[in-house]
Structure 1
């Protein structure tokens, strides 16, 4: 295995970040899964929802940068009834396979625990095998799936849930 490209992870949002999250999703999902512009627009709309509700005590972002450019991202967003949502987990292809995704998930889980959330959830789709495997290792369980054309292509949308170990 060769050395990973140089990168850093920061937990603050800067001007331009939200647009880069949407652009990274648009590029990766178009190239790898044939998603259209509708997916990038969905990401843009939902990022506005996150931004408007952003609370430094309850929410956290992980921005992966290399040479000043965003190459990965994930966030924890607070939700009603003391739940958290994992959103926008993405890593550019050339940064995969070096443990960066696992590190992001471990840090996400640590913050989830520190905040004493009762549960967490996420949505993904069939075919995101590496991510689904990582979610499973972290304790997320697939609860349901449904056919969806939300992003301009027919896909099987999956809903995963995690119950906090302190709540079991």
Structure 2
């Protein structure tokens, strides 16, 4: 008998370890090829971004959240410093972990990270096909600021930029 997945059984590791970035690329490439038909160019895009992150990773300014269940990585999210703002990247978790509150937990972590480090602005890029993620982002105050038609992931889609500006305290 399969046991139900509970948020309490998922741990968030904030330390980046060797192999994590490669696994993040693997998860994105495999999952989005299967679910959305994205091709090798999408995986290349993810790898380029992760390479940049690896080279510029600053343990003070950046944050990683590696989600683990039963000692296996099941998801992640990255906050990547970009001058006075932060880019939210690589929010993903395995399909069987959807609907348990993990997205909300990660977004709460992201908002706390922004407040802790004094970031007032954040942004992210996604696609028009990421309906659940877009719902989550807009719930936390992100607003659509840019759209561009793209074939970068080996299919026609619209890339979307969302920005967040925190209110002054």
Cα distance in 1 between the residues matched to 2:51 and 2:168:
32
Extract structure 1 runs of 4+ deviating beyond 3 A.
none
Please give the residue correspondences for 1:124-135 in structure 2 after superposition, counting only pairs within 5 Å. 124-135=126-137
Q: Alpha-carbon deviation of 1:45?
A: 1.2
TM-score when normalising by structure 1: 0.94
How far off its partner does 1:67 sit?
A: 2.7
1:91-133 deviations in whole A, cap 9, x for unaligned?
Answer: 1100000001110011011101111112100000002111101
Cα RMSD for the two superposed structures:
1.4
| Count of matched residue pairs | 165
Which residue does 1:61 correspond to in 2?
A: 64
- CA distance in 2 between counterparts of 1:118 and 1:51 reads 24
Aligned to 1:152, the other structure's residue is in SS state coil
Partner of 2:147: 145
Other-structure match for 2:75: 72
Matches within 5 A, 1:10-159: 10-80=13-83, 82-159=84-161
Contact 2:114/2:120 (8 A) holds in 1: no
> Unmatched 5+ residue regions in structure 1?
none
Cα distance in 2, alignment partners of residues 75 and 117 from structure 1: 15
Aligned position for 1:3: 4
Unaligned 5+ residue runs, structure 2?
none
